[in-house]
Amino acid sequence: MCGRYLILSSPEAFRRLFAYAQERAFPARYNVAPTQPVPIVRAAEGERQFALVRWGLIPSWVKDPRSFSLLVNARAESVNAKPAFRNAMRRRRCLLPADGFYEWKHEAGRKHPFCVRPTDRLPLAFAGLWETWMGPNGEEMETAVIITTPANRDLSLLHPRMPAIVSPSAFDMWLDCSRVDALTATALLGPAPEGLLQSYEISPAVNRTANDGPALIESLRQQPASAETVTPTAAAAKSKPNPARGKGDLQPSLFDDLP
Region 229-242 average pLDDT: 40
Question: Of 199-213, 215-229, 230-244, where does mean pLDDT reach its minimum?
Answer: 230-244
Residue 224 has pLDDT above 60, yes or no: no
CA nearest to 16, candidates 174, 143, 125, 164: 125
Cα 99 from Cα 200, distance rounded (Å): 15
Q: What is the pLDDT of residues 84-140, one digit of tens each?
A: 999 999 999 999 999 999 999 998 889 999 999 999 999 999 999 999 999 888 889
Answer whether residue 238 shows pLDDT above 50. Answer: no
pLDDT at 223: 60
Instruction: Calculate mean pLDDT across residues 206-232.
Output: 76
Active site residues: 2, 103
Question: Is the per-residue pLDDT at 177 higher than 50?
Answer: yes
Strand order in the sheet with 197-201: 29-32, 5-7, 100-107, 110-118, 197-201
What are 36-71's pLDDT values in tens digits? 999 999 999 889 999 999 999 999 999 988 889 999
Please give the angle made by the CA atoms of 201, 220 and 211, to the nearest 5 degrees. 85
Mean pLDDT for the chain overall: 87
